[in-house]
Structure formats: structure tokens, C-alpha cells
Chain A
Amino acid sequence: MIILNCPFCGPRDHSEFDYGGDGSITYPSLDAPVEDWHAAVFLRDNICGVQTETWQHTQGCRMWLLVERDTMSHEVHSIRPAHPGHAAVLEGKV
């Protein structure tokens, strides 16, 4: 029963969100070699502790978020928009 504090919508039940995946991955360019894609898609760390994850507020504003979450305690350390443009708007910089 995690509550995620969506930067746009405020604190909401995790049932409004969908888990995406590993938020630390930088995906290779489309023409990168198969090895790079293999590493990005299949080789994942199984972190015991704080990890960065992507979540989407599917039943809310639909923003994709970067969430730092402790896999042992479910404690959420930070939430921010995945897209820097969204972040800039929410911080009033645009």
C-alpha cells in the first residue's frame, strides 16, 4: 500500500499508478549494436535497497515518473517527472 506523491496530482494510492521498470537505464540509440540492446533490455540489477524506478500515473495525469524507492522497506525517497520539460513547468521555470 504505497502512496506516491505525484508531482502534478499530489499523494495518491499506488493502485492509480503502473510500475514501469528500471529507471536507471539509458536506452541505446536505435542503430546501436544488438549487444547494447541486449544489455539494456535483459541485464538488470536486482537491487536490495534504494533503486530508481519508472512509474506512470496511469489513472491520473498519465505522467511518467522517476521514483527512488527502497526495495526492502518500500520507503519512497523522491519522485520527479521523468521528462525534464514537465519538471521545469512544475517548478515554474517555464
Chain B
Amino acid sequence: MTARRLSSGGRIDRSQTVTFRWDGKRLQGFAGDTLASALLANNQRIIGRSFKYHRPRGVMSAGVEESGAIVTTGRGARSEPNVKATQQELFEGLVASGQNAWPSVRHDVGAVSGLFSRFFAAGFYYKTFMGLPPFETGRGTGIWMQYEKLIRKAAGMGSASRLPDPDVYDHAHGFCDVLVVGAGPAGLAAALELAQQGRDVVLVEQDFELGGDYLAQSDPQAITRRDTQVAALRAAGVRIMTRTTAFGLYDNGVAGLLERVTDHLASPDASLPRQRFWTMRAGRTVLATGALERFISFGNNDLPGVMTPNAARSYLNRFGVLPGQRIVVATNNDSAYAVAGELAAAGAQVILADARSDAALVAPKGVELRQGLAPFNASGGRGVSGIEFASQQGGAWRVAGREACDLLLVSGGWSPVINLASHLGARPIWDSALACFLPGKTRSDIHMAGSAAGVWQTEACEASGTAVARQVIGADTALPAAGGWQTPIAPLYEVRVPGRRTKAFVDPQHDVTGDDVRLAHQEGFVSVEHLKRYTTLGMATDQGKMGNIIGLAMMAEALGREIPQVGTTRFRPPYTPVAIGALAGRHTGPHAKPLRRTPLHDWNLRQGAVMTDAGLWHRPWYFPHAGEGMAEAYVREATAVRETVGICDVSSLGKIAIQGPDATEFLNRIYTNPFAKLPIGRARYGIMLRDDGIVMDDGTTWRLGESDYLMTTTTTNAGKVMVFLEELLHTRWQDLRVHVTSVSDHWAGVSIAGPKSREVIAPCLEDGEAVTNDNLPFLGVRPVRLKGGIEGLIARISFSGELAYEIYVPSGYGEAMMALLWPQAQAQNGVLYGLEALGALRIEKGHVTGAELDGRMTIDDAGLGKMASPKKTFIGDALRRRPELTDPNRPQLVGVFPKIRSDTFNAGALLTAPGEDSGFGDGWLTAVTHSPALGHWIGIGYIAGGVAAWEGRRVLASDPTRRGPVEVEIVPPIMFDPKGDRMHG
């Protein structure tokens, strides 16, 4: 191939030279070039190496269907693999290199694997490494995965940067009356007609220039026409988005758009996102997405220098590059004739081989036309140097001469881009006259225009766009018929000569050959879905845009059927690849999920809190003194709570106001224990189940008035409980007069726990007598006024097992409350304590949390069966009686001590009898801690049958992946102060 830049012509700006680097070399192109056109202008032939066989590959197309010129752009953290050179705009300083090759695409060590290519046939990996000795069934999969890593490394698909992505991506939302996808002759005409009829139109074009096929035409009239249309569109107020791909269509007129904002800029404005991911909502959508020219399968059809005629036309007319000097054009349809003439006019020597013998067209000026010839086998090492032809004789192809060439253009017909319509379920219909899939019946809000609907000629495409626009508006307008060739296409997918073996590619990007397709058939993978998965046909980054139909045609032939009977796979989004970064948008790092802060967040940080995640919340984990780690800090904090007093931020607990005349009845139905007679000014611990009888959540509910309750939930289940209560009231118990309101964020709450807690609180209150044992007994609740007039609520409830209170004040007064409480606590040698100490205290007391109430346990499993009232019914009461849930051998809550008290263990360890440590074990540890009160490690967990079944027996905490087994003892779950004397004190 001797490609060269012509001295004139094309839409490049010859006054603006652009310097770029290709595989370390400095090369030059012009503004308006793609990387592919600039590489061709520099006569670069080998652009990539193929995936499996490392065969040299060059530019095969001029668009998104590219299967050969797949490159890596950028450097370091901005290194981007698998970029199609045909889509990458050239800019000053662009760095690009070939991939799948070492040390370079021109001298690739891996090419030797081509010699062993039979080992890479379809299904080879599976058959070799899975299920066969020595990799017997069952074991093979793991070994296969190891081999796969090696094979993939050898094969390569470009490599992504392992550095964090330095770019930002935005999410954006748009709305319009009509979305027009594609700005070729049909799309421009449709958008203009719609805008002139007063519709709000968004026109998206994946290219950096509007015009589509106009841009590739040699006739200057085409550009004039394009310029007129674009000017009229702008005047009519059409919103135009170039460099924007509509990659998927979804329900309700939603289109996913990817706008490449800075990928074409040498030094982008730092305030711009690299890409924008648009959710566009359109009333109607016009798909003017064009058609892609496809290949034919024949020997060495992947050599550099083999491309589509339409690509050559684009390079010639748009980019001013003549991609070859001795050119053979092989076609089975009319479209290549004009290209052949244009190439000849540009000075190339052109032979046009038409597989048809009956074509009515005459040879263009300067072109040697040979009818009845098809390409059979290309020759050349590092690029095409000649082509052997074949002709039909007696129903089979026979070799019919050869011709030298440096560029071989192959057209096997055109495939309308129906991908987007297919995303919404439109079934492609095979049109045997045009030898292509047409969109079939689309949904009423989706319209196909131009060559996407199988209309081939420019004027007809314009008419199609206008007619579709009128249909969108509601006019009863006839659409132009599909087609437009003088002589019908002669379907041609593969050229094989009996007795001659060739390497003929169906899907060049994934190195799938015709032999692979026949092998799939031979081994029974005849459904198109199986064919795809067995051979990987159409699964590369081009999604089979060039090769899929050839594969289907071959399978149809092997089965003795027609293509429509074989069917096609459904297209799925995205039409072209979308960076994960664009999908994530700004939702990365700390913005990946919202952060919830308690009203005391800043106060906690000022006291030196180390924070931890609790759901979306950040909560204090521990408050280290100088020189302390987590272990020392939490032991000190928990010890202080038992000896003096501690204060803990509990603002993140869910809080739900339950109000209304039927509030009591409502609570009585959702809690397992009775609430009908809870007096005003009292709190009660309650458990609620799901419909299926499994525990949903627990917490205390405070009766504030006759029809006024405050329910608290666990931090993590606050949202779930609220939704469930609303569901019950809205959908199930519509007669109950109850209103529920989430007030979690309205209150700042602290727990003050420890023998000195009363001494801390009393001085902070306007009336210190409010917290005497008589005025506020265990589980009492009352309004309270802190000094300075802060109105709040106080309840005497305990999670730690100590004398303890919870005080809630309006969020904005949280810090004022701490300013009162904390000095008093310090005067009592008290501490602030975090989640780790809280965990230690509750494990000592055998109190359950989300780790124990994990969505699988019943109220009996959790040792709380006495809280299920036999005198009333409640949510979950019926289904908790299922035999599976009442089996006495179910896991039950237990406490766990290490047999040797100085031992430790991990949460998640399995509890097993000695010698039975394979499988699932008999139980598991849900939480562990060092117990300051007991002076050794303790755990809480579940074991089948509970304490009664295991007391006095040998048990192991089996933890093979982290540490060895530890012998443990099963004890009752309340491991400290089982009678509860301390909290009543």
C-alpha cells in the first residue's frame, strides 16, 4: 500500500499542521484529520495486531465499525486502550501506539502464535482445560481460570491504566420534543423539517462534523447542500450536539448519550469534564443512523490494505488521502462503482471486480471492469500485495486469475444501523432483496429514516428524512421505498474454493474465522446465541458491526436454511463502548454515596473522635488519648462506663413519630410484645417481625401522650422500618387513623451510661429532681428542660447494662447540650465512648444488633421468644410458626468464651465440634470483643440447639483462612450481670 496525501481536496485544513506521536515517531497531519486518516497520509500500514493470532492489521473502515486500527492513546493515568483510530480526532500532541504487540506492531514476537493457530480455534480453551484429564470435572474450572489469565496475557486486548482516573465526568439531563440521531442527509432533513414545524429538536452526531455521507461525497454540490442544511438548522434553533453518541435507547423515550467534551483537545480547559453522560428524554426519536458497509469472508481478508470502498471514498474525499495506487475493488453491489471512478480520477490504477455477471452499470471512466469475479485469497506479508480471484463454475467457486494490488477494497453489501431500535425490542427483519436486516416494526415513538431504513441514494434519504418528520408531526405521508440500486445485490458472504485452505476472517477483531463458525455447527452450537458464545463472534468492541451477518449466513448455509430462519442476536446497549468513568460521573470517591452527619459530628471531631461508617452515617468509633490505638481506647472507654460514666452520640438511631387516635392499636399490631397498656411517660423495648416471621428490627418506643409515640429503630434499619409502616397504613390497614413521620434528623441524642450518670445529668437540668429514681424509674420517659431553657426528652433506657439515660434535644441544640453534659462527665472522671466500646458493652450483655438480626433469624433464635405475646396477634405471628422456623435444632443465640482465656478469635469463625470442621459447621460467631469486665475475649453468635445442646462439650471456633481453630466454650448469651442489677440501681 502506498497511501499519500493529495495536494488538494478534502475538508482538512492544510494551513494547520498538527504534530502527533505514533509508536514513538513524530508524524504530522492536519486539523480535520482523524488519527486513521493521518496515519494513512503518512503511509503507515500496520496499525494494530490481532487479538489471538497477532496478525498485522491496518485501517479497515472510516468509522465506528473499525476492527483493525485499534490503538492505545494517551500516557500514564490517561492511557486509553482499544481506541478506534478511525474515530479519534487528531490534535496537537496526541500520543498513540499500537497494542497487542511487543516490542511494536511492526515487529511482534507474539506473531509466532499464528504458527500454532489451530490451538486457538473456537472452543479450544474450554475443551482443553475444562473437564478433561488431568483437569477432571469439578476441579477443571479453577485451573482453567489460571490458564485463562496466561492466555489472555499472551493474546492481549490493550491494557488499561492502573492509576486512578484523573478526569471528571458529568451526568446531565436533557429534554426535547424530538431526538434525531445521526446528521447525514436523512437526519439533517428530518431535524430541519421538525424544527420548522415548531418542534424542539435535539440533533446528535457521533462525528465531529455534521453531514454524514455528504462529507464523503466527491460532488461539491453535496457540501453546498450540507452547508445550506446546517445553516438552516442553526437558524431554526435546533440544538446540535456533535461528538455525541446515542449509545442506547430505553423506555419512555429515554436515550443514553455520551458527549466527548475534551477528548479532541490538546490542552482542555480544566473546568470541563472529559465526557458527559446524558439522559435525554424525547417525546419521539428519529433514528437516521445510516448503514455500514460490510466485508466478505475470503483468504487473508484481514491483511493491512484491505478495507471497504466506502472507507477509501471517505479518506479520498473528506481527508484528501489516496489510500492506494494499484487498487482492486471487489463488490457484489452497485455502491462501489462510483468509488472506483473517484479513485481512478484521483490518479490510481483501478480494477473493479463485480461478483455479478449481470450488472447493468457501465465501468466508470478510467476503471477496468471485470464481471463475475470475486476475491478468493489475498496475498502479502505485512500488507496486501495481490489478490487471487474466483469465479462461479458449476455451482462452485474456481480460481480465476490473480492481480497485483496495494489496496483491496471489498464490499459485501450494506447493513442498516438498526441497533438502537433493537435495544427496545424491534425484531430485525431480513430483507432478501437487499440482503440486509431492516428494522421491522418499531415502537410508535421510534422512527427510522434514510439508509437506516434501507434507503440507499442521497436524494431518497433526504426525502425519507422529510417524510419521517412529517409522520412524527402527524401527517399521513408515504415513505420512500427501501433500496435504490440499478442491479440487485448478489448476496455474497464467503468465497471458498474446494481443496484450498485459507484463513478467512468473519470477525477480525476477535479473530473469528469461517472455520470457527463451521466448527461450532459441527459441534452442535447452531443457535445464533450459542454460536456467538462458542466462537465469540460479535463480542469484541465493535459488537460484530462488520462480521455478524457473514457468520449468520455461514451458519444458515451449514444448516441448509435461510438467514431469517437462523435469526440474529438482539443488539444490546451500548452501541459503542462507554467508559465506566462516564457511567459513574461525579459519584466517585467520597461522593460515591451520601454522607450523613449527626448534629454532634463536628463536636465529636473536636474531641478527637476517630470516625467509622455505620450505613451512610459517620459515627465516632473511639476517642483515643495520646499514644492510644483503637484497642487501648475502647477498653479504657468501656471500663469507664462500668466504673464511672460515658457519653455516646446516638443521634443516628432511627426516630419515627407515630401519632393519631389508632396509634396504640397500630403499635400493638406491629410489635410482638403488648403495647396496648403502655402508660404515658413510659418506654418499652419492642421487636417487630416481617410478614414471613423473621425478625425485622428492634428498638424502644416511648409513649409521650395519649395518641403520641416516639419509636426508635436501629441506625441501619431506620429507612426500611419507615417504609414498612407507611406500606401497612397506605395499603393494608387503611382504616387506622395513624400518621407516621420520620424525625430522625430532628433530634440530637446522647446516651449517658454508668453508675455516675445521674450525677452528670442532674446539674444540667433546670430541675435536677427530674432524674431521681422516683421521678424517672427504669424505662421512664419525660419532657425535660436543660439549663438555658433547652426543651428535650429524657428516657431511662440502657443498652450497656448500666444505669443509663438517653437525652434528645432539637438538633440545633446538640452542641449546647454537650457544653452542659461533658464538663459534668469530666468532673466524674467520665469518658466519651464510640461504637467499639458500645459493641464491647452490648456483647457482654448479650444484646443483639444487626449482626445477630441478620434477616435470617426468628425471635426464638435470638433468645427473645418471651417477647412474643401469646395473648394477641401481630405481623409475622402466623408464619413464624412454620415447622422450619420452630425446629428446636435451629441456631440459637449463645455467648462464647475461649477455652484458654488468653486466646482470641474472629467474628465470622464457624463453631464446630472437633473433627467436624469441614462444611458449614454448627454455628458461627457474629461479634467478638475483649471484655474489660471479664478480663478476656468473649464472643456472641449462634449454634444449633443453643447453650443446652453444647454446654460442657468441646467446640472449636474454626477459622481456616485467617488463623487456626481455637477451642471455645458455649455459655449463656448474657455474660455480664445476668440479673441486671446494675441498670436498675
Closest to B690 in A: A41
One of B300-308, B582-590, B709-717, B727-735 contacting the partner: B727-735
Chain B residues within 8 Å of A84, by CB = 734
**Shortest distance from the beta carbon of B58 to any chain A beta carbon, whole Å:** 40
Contact between A38 and B730, CB atoms less than 8 A apart: no
Bound Cα distance from A73 to B425, whole angstroms: 9
B723 in contact with A56 (CB, 8 Å): yes
Residues of A within 8 A of B727 (CB): 20, 54, 56, 64
Q: Are B692 and A58 in contact (CB under 8 A)?
A: no
Chain B, range 860-902, C-beta contacts under 8 Å to A: 873-875, 877-879, 881-882
B residues in contact with A31, CB < 8 Å: 873
A37 CB to closest chain B CB, in angstroms? 4
> How many residues of B are counted as interface, with CB atoms below 8 angstroms from the partner's CB atoms?
26
Asked if A1 meets B692 with Cβ closer than 8 Å, knowing A27-B732, A56-B727, A62-B726, the reply is no
The answer, yes or no, to whether A2 is at the interface (CB within 8 Å) is yes
| A49 interface residue (CB < 8 Å to B) | no
Q: What's the Cα separation between A2 and B252 when bound, in Å?
A: 6
Cβ contact within 8 Å between A1 and B252: yes
Of A37, A38, A54, most B-chain CB atoms within 10 Å: A37
User: Of A1, A18, A85, which contacts B279 at CB under 8 A?
Assistant: A1
In angstroms, Cα B715 to Cα A42, docked, is 29
Interface centre among B254, B729, B732, B878 (most CB of A within 10 A): B878
- For residue B144, CB closer than 8 A to chain A, the reply is no
Chain A, Cβ-Cβ closest to B669? A30
Find chain A residues with CB under 8 A from B523 CB.
none
Q: Which residues of B contact A62 (CB under 8 A)?
A: 726
The yes or no answer to B250 lying at the interface (CB within 8 A) is: yes
Instruction: Determine how close the nearest CB of chain A comes to the CB of B381; give it in whole angstroms.
Output: 51
- The answer, among A37, A40, A85, for a CB contact under 8 Å with B734, is A85
- Map CB proximity to A onto B183-205 as digits: 1 under 8 Å, 0 otherwise: 00000000000000000000000
**Could you say which residues of chain B place their CB within 8 Å of the CB of A27?**
691, 732
Distance to closest chain A CB from B585 (angstroms): 14
**Nearest A residue to B729 by beta-carbon distance?**
A83
Are A83 and B879 in contact, with the CB atoms below 8 A? Answer: no
Given contacts A41-B692, A74-B251, A85-B734, contact A34 B878 (CB under 8 A): yes
Provide the bound-state CA to CA distance between A36 and B873, in Å.
15
Q: Is the CB of A86 within 8 A of B730?
A: yes
Proximity bits, B251-282, A CB within 8 Å = 1, else 0:
11010000000000000000000000001010
Known: A1-B252, A1-B254. A32 touches B731 (CB 8 A): no
Interface residues of A in 2-58 (CB under 8 A from B): 2-3, 18, 20, 23, 27-28, 30-34, 36-38, 40-42, 54, 56, 58
Contacts of A32 on B, CB cut-off 8 Å? 878
Known: A30-B877, A31-B873. A3 touches B252 (CB 8 A): yes
Tell me whether B879 and A64 are in contact (CB under 8 A): no
**A64 and B251 within 8 A (CB):** no
Q: Give the docked Cα–Cα distance between A38 and B281 (Å).
A: 42
Q: With contacts A20-B727, A30-B669, A41-B692 known, is A1 near B251, CB below 8 A?
A: yes
Can you name the residue of chain A whose Cβ is closest to the Cβ of B173?
A13
Residues from chain A with a CB closer than 8 A to the CB of B281 are 3
A64 in contact with B692 (CB, 8 Å) = no
Contact B252 A63, beta carbon cutoff 8 Å: no
A58: nearest chain-B partner, CB-CB = B723
Interface status of A79 (Cβ within 8 A of chain B): no
Interface 0/1 of B521-547, CB less than 8 Å to A = 000000000000000000000000000
Could you say which of B669, B731, B881 contacts A34, with CB atoms under 8 Å apart? B881
Q: With the chains together, A30 CA to B451 CA distance in Å?
A: 63
Asked if B726 and A33 sit within 8 Å, CB to CB, the answer is no
The residue that B879 contacts in the complex, of A23, A38, A54, with Cβ under 8 A, is A38
Contact A34 B254 (CB under 8 A): no
Q: Which residues of A lie under 8 Å from residue B723 when comparing CB positions?
A: 18, 56, 58
Q: What CA separation (Å) do A30 and B728 show in the bound complex?
A: 12
Which of chain B's residues has its CB closest to A11's CB?
A: B252
| Chain A hits for B873, CB < 8 A | 30-31
Q: How far is the CA of A82 from the CA of B732 in the complex (A)?
A: 9
Q: Is the CB of A30 within 8 A of B734?
A: no
Would A34 and B882 count as touching, CB distance under 8 A? yes
Against A, the Cβ 8 Å flags (1 = close, 0 = not) of B423-441 are 0010000000000000000
CB neighbours (8 Å) of A42 from chain B are 692
Give Cα A36–Cα B878 distance, bound, in whole angstroms: 9
Q: Given the complex of chains A and B, what is the CA–CA distance between A62 and B731 in angstroms?
A: 13
Q: Which residues on B sit within 8 Å (CB–CB) of A36?
A: 878
> Which residues of chain B from 831 to 849 have any CB-CB distance to chain A below 8 Å in the complex?
none
Tell which of A32, A54, A64 has the most Cβ of chain B within 10 Å: A64
Instruction: Specify which chain B residues have a CB less than 8 angstroms from the CB of A40 in the assembled complex.
Output: 691
Is the beta-carbon distance between A64 and B726 smaller than 8 angstroms?
yes
Nearest B residue (CB) for A40: B691
- Given the contacts A41-B692, A84-B734, A1 and B250 also touching, CB distance less than 8 Å: yes
Inter-chain CA distance A64–B873, complex, in Å, is: 25
The chain A residue with its CB closest to the CB of B279 is A1
Q: Closest residue of chain B to A84, judged by CB?
A: B734
Instruction: Report the separation of the CA atoms of residues A87 and B977 in the bound assembly, to the nearest whole angstrom.
Output: 54
Interface bits B660-673 vs A (CB < 8 Å: 1, else 0): 00000000010000
Residues A82 and B730 in contact, CB atoms below 8 Å apart: yes
Give a binary string over A63-94; 1 marks a CB under 8 Å from any B CB, 0 the rest: 11000000001100000011111100000000
B residues in contact with A63, CB < 8 Å:
730
Q: With a CB–CB cut-off of 8 A, which chain B residues contact A58?
A: 723
**Smallest beta-carbon distance A36→chain B, Å:** 8
A53 to chain B, nearest CB (A): 11
Residues of A within 8 A of B731 (CB): 20, 23, 54, 64, 82-83
Determine the distance from Cα of A27 to Cα of B878 in the docked complex, in whole angstroms: 12
Residue numbers in B under 8 Å from A1 (CB-CB): 250-252, 254, 279
Give every chain B residue within 8 A of A38 (Cβ-Cβ). 879, 882
* Complex Cα–Cα for A58 and B250 (A): 23
Give CA–CA (A74, B686) in the complex, Å: 41
Let me know if A37 and B254 touch, CB within 8 A. Answer: no
Q: Do A30 and B252 have beta carbons less than 8 Å apart?
A: no
Chain B hits for A86, CB < 8 A: 730
In the assembled complex, the CB of B690 is this many whole angstroms from the nearest CB of chain A, namely 9
Which residue in A2, A18, A41 is a CB contact (below 8 Å) of B691?
A41
Chain B residues contacting A2 (CB-CB under 8 Å) are 251-252
CB neighbours (8 Å) of B729 from chain A are 83
Interface residues of B in 639-691 (CB under 8 A from A): 669, 691
A41–B882 CA distance with the chains assembled, in angstroms: 13
A86 to B692, CA, bound (A): 28
Shortest Cβ distance from B734 into A: residue: A83
Q: Which residues of B contact A3 (CB under 8 A)?
A: 252, 281
Determine which residue in A30, A56, A81, A84 has the highest number of CB atoms from chain B within 10 A of its CB, and name it: A30
Contacts of A41 in B (CB 8 A): 691-692, 879
Please indicate the chain A residues that have their CB under 8 angstroms from the CB of B252 in the complex: 1-3, 74
**A-B contacts, 12 listed (Cβ < 8 Å):** A1-B250, A30-B874, A31-B873, A34-B882, A38-B882, A41-B692, A56-B723, A56-B727, A62-B726, A64-B731, A74-B252, A82-B731
Besides A1-B252, A2-B252, A31-B873, 11 other A-B contacts (C-beta < 8 A): A1-B254, A2-B251, A28-B878, A33-B878, A34-B879, A37-B691, A40-B691, A83-B730, A83-B734, A84-B734, A85-B734
Which 8 interchain pairs have the tightest Cβ spacing?
A64-B730, A1-B254, A30-B873, A37-B878, A1-B250, A82-B731, A74-B251, A83-B730
User: Which residues of B are interface residues toward A (Cβ below 8 A)?
Assistant: 250-252, 254, 279, 281, 425, 669, 691-692, 723, 726-727, 729-732, 734, 873-875, 877-879, 881-882
